[in-house]
Each structure stands twice: as C-alpha cells, then as structure tokens.
Amino acid sequence: MGAAEASAWWVGVPQAGARVGWALADACPPRSGLTHEAHRKEVEQVYLRCSQGSVEWMYPTGALIVNVRPNTFPPSRHLTLCIKPLRDSSGANIYLERTGELKLLVRDGDRGPGQVLCFGFEHGGLFVEAAPQQDISRRTTGFQYELTSRHAGSDLHALSGGWPPCRPCSDAEVLLAVCTSDFVVRGSIQNVTHAPEQQESAIHLHVSRLYRQKSRVFRPAPEGGGWRGRVTTLLQCGVRPGRGEFLFTGHMHFGEARLGCAPRFKDFQRTYRDAEERGLNPCEMDVSLHPHL
C-alpha cells in the first residue's frame, strides 16, 4: 500500500473564539487523517495522521500548532520530515518547535525557488504563527509535507528541492534503484528545457518500455508506439539531449518526478547480467531489447 496522503485547509475566523475548519482528501484511511483540538482562542492544535499531504491556512490569525503523528510508521522508527512552502504562501511564519524552543523555518514573504527544508523528526511539531497584517482577507499560508523513514540526519538542513547530487550512479546504486524507484523506464531524451528561476531542468522523454510507475508520469504517446513524459533534475547537472536509449529511474517528490539514476541502457544490461551471474542482483527484471507496448 502506498503512503497515505492528505490535504487539509484551515480557515481562521478573527472573531472571538476562533474556529478551525478542515477538509480531508479521500486518499487517507478513515480516522487517520487529521484531528484538531482548541486550546484558547488564539491557538489551535491540530494533528496530521498521514505520511504526506499539504496544509493550507486561509485568513491566518493567531497560531497553529501542527503535530505530525502518522499511523503508517512504527513509533520507534527514525523519521525525516520535509516541508515545501506553497507558491505565493503569505501571512504567517513557520517554526520548528522542539522542547519549548522555536527555530524559524520559513519567514513570511520568503520566495525561495522551491526550497525544501528537512529535519529529523522525533516528537516535535510545527508552530505556524500569523504575521501582523492590516488586511488578512487575501492571505493564505501553507506548505506541502512528506514524512519518510530515510535517515537524513537529525539537524535541520535545506535541500534544493530534495535533489540527489549530480554524479553518475555506481553499479550497486543502479541495481538498487531498479528495485526501489517510483518509476523505471527505458527510453530516449527528446528535449531538455531549463527554468533558471527554479534552478531546474525538465527532461522530455519518449519511452519505449515502461517497467514501473506509481503515478501517471508517462502517458501513451498521441502518435502511438510508446509513452511520453517529463522528469526534472537540477539545472547545474547540465543535462543535454543525447542519442541512444537510457534506463531512467527516480522518485516522486512533492508531486514531481525527480530523476535518479539514468545509465545508458546497454551499460545497464551489462551490469545487470554480471550481477545476475554472481547472484547479486537485488530483484529481477527483463532486460531484453524488445519493448513491451
């Protein structure tokens, strides 16, 4: 079963006894998505029960204490929480709260290019405090979040969109990526477009064989004969269109397909068969050249 997902919306009401309104996406199991309890009129305490989702607070006043308590992970597992501010989010500051201390994560009005902030998560919470405003009627603050069991260190750190480094994968990394990635396809690069303001490049692919995809990143080509789709990577990686077929792997991250390992397919075939002969391949797949459409 995939990770549970939730989307929640809060509407702050500036009258006495502020109320919190919320809605939950159907993808989250019943009774496991979001609960909330009021403490005093200026602060609301809410609990997120899903491992990924988004929070949107409309007309922010007072503060929210956001506790992430997922039902999908064992309590003892070391977890990493990543948040990504929604585009045009404004009206509040977001803090990490641990043992009574606050550390500023996102300042009201920050417009970083898709900045993702991650930290080791051990029974901490997020404190979202509305910034003083003359007019809150057009203010909405919010963020996406993902909670994983991948260890990323206990200290707060920023990721440029949560990207892996720009370097070729080792043979062992390629073999593991084939087994664990959200998408695994064989295909060629049709075009590469760049978005300097986001420091990202979009790689437009024609796929001749689809091994796996968890989300519908790749769709049947209108002209028939394969699939088309787009994956993204860091601009600094300098990806350019090239001839030949590659094996593309990667993960979905905040709704986007992020490129992971991408060896030339012939190189991958050789690596896979060598590992197969030695009994070292972590999973099985058909590495023949004949596409299955």
CATH number at residue 22: 2.60.120
- If asked whether residues 269 and 154 sit together in one domain, one would say no
54 and 151 both lie in a single domain: yes
Domain membership of residue 265 (yes or no) is yes
Mean pLDDT of 160-171: 71
Q: Which of 6-20, 84-98, 119-133 has the lowest mean pLDDT?
A: 6-20
Last residue of a domain, one of 124, 159, 194: 159
Q: What is the rounded CA–CA span in Å between residue 130 and residue 107?
A: 11
Q: Is the pLDDT of residue 80 over 50?
A: yes
Beta-carbon count within 10 A of 54 CB = 19
Q: Looking at per-residue confidence, does 261 or 79 come out higher?
A: 261
- Residue 291 located in a structural domain: no
What is the rounded CA–CA span in Å between residue 144 and residue 86?
7
179 and 85 inside one domain: no
Q: Please report which confidence band the pLDDT of residue 123 belongs to, taking 50, 70 and 90 as the band edges.
A: low
The band of 73, judged by pLDDT with boundaries at 50, 70 and 90, is low
Domain total for the chain?
A: 2
Distance CA 176, CA 268 (A): 12
> What digits encode the pLDDT tens for the residues 84-112?
888 888 889 999 887 778 889 888 877 66
Summarised one tens digit per residue, pLDDT across range 175-203 is 999 999 999 999 999 999 998 877 889 99
CA distance 276 to 27: 38
* Res. 11: pLDDT tops 60: no
The answer on 189 and 142 residing in a single domain is no
Q: Is the dihedral of CA 218, 222, 223, 224 positive or negative?
A: positive
Q: How confident is the model at residue 272 (pLDDT cuts 50, 70, 90)?
A: very high
Task: Tell me which of 181 and 46 has the higher pLDDT.
Answer: 181
pLDDT, residue 189, reads 96
Domain-located, residue 39: yes
Are 198 and 254 contained in the same domain?
yes
Res 212 pLDDT > 80: yes
**Which pLDDT value is given to residue 125?**
80
Q: Identify the residue whose tokens are 């300042």.
A: 107
pTM here is 0.67
Domain containing residue 53: 5-159
CA distance 31 to 126: 21
Q: How far is CA 269 from the centre of its chain?
A: 30
Evaluate whether 67 touches 124 at the Cβ level (below 8 Å): no
80 and 138 both lie in a single domain? yes
Residue 182 phi, psi dihedral angles, 5° rounding: -75, -30
For residue 74, name the pLDDT band (cuts at 50, 70, 90): low
Neighbouring-strand partners of residue 159: 116
- Domain boundary (136, 159, 182) is at 159
CATH of the domain at 192: 2.40.50.120
User: Quick one: 190 and 269 in the same domain?
Assistant: yes
Strand partners, 7: 54
Q: Is residue 22 located within the same domain as residue 137?
A: yes
Within this chain, do residues 147 and 186 fall inside the same structural domain, yes or no? no
